Amino acid sequence: MSLNEEKDLSVKIYKIVNFSSAHKLDLPYQSRCNTLHGHNYKSELWIKGKLDENGMVIDFHDLKKVIKNIDHINLSDKFEWQTTAENLSKYLLNQIYQLSPNTIEKIKVRVWETETAYAEVSKSFNN
């Protein structure tokens, strides 16, 4: 059996990309997060899907570009929503899906805000 005959094969890829950004939250209670501060984030990306004509689920470089769009910026200036780790995870999931909506079956995104705290989202897609 040749590689080209594996049309129904699902492949899972994984990428870690670090980024640094500032933000502040607008919480209805007193919190240090309500003032401008920064994090050295770590994102972990899992993507499961079918191989495209280039033999990839998604190009790793394209995943890095998604993260680089939020690297070294004030997230609160870029987005109207609360830039929590939870919302950043959802944002990254949606951005990744748009890279290859015809081949992606599942995405999981984990965003570490500190060494001890992360948010994680995952979604399956019917393709």
In a domain, 35, yes or no: yes
In a domain, 4, yes or no: no
120 is catalytic: no
113 is catalytic: yes
Distance, CA of 54 to CA of 52 (rounded, Å):
5
From 80, 62, 74, select the one nearest 19 (Cα to Cα). 74
44 is catalytic: no
Instruction: Retrieve residue 14's tokens.
Output: 């994984």
Q: Provide the CATH number for the domain around residue 53.
A: 3.30.479.10
Instruction: Retrieve residue 29's tokens.
Output: 């209670």
Catalytic residue among 23, 44, 61, 72: 72
Q: What is the pLDDT of residues 18-37, one digit of tens each?
A: 999 999 999 999 999 999 99
In a domain, 2, yes or no: no
pTM over 0.85: yes
User: What is the span of the domain harbouring residue 100?
Assistant: 10-124
Q: What is the pLDDT of residues 41-91, one digit of tens each?
A: 999 999 999 999 999 999 999 999 999 999 999 999 999 999 999 999 999
* Chain-centre distance for alpha carbon 95: 7
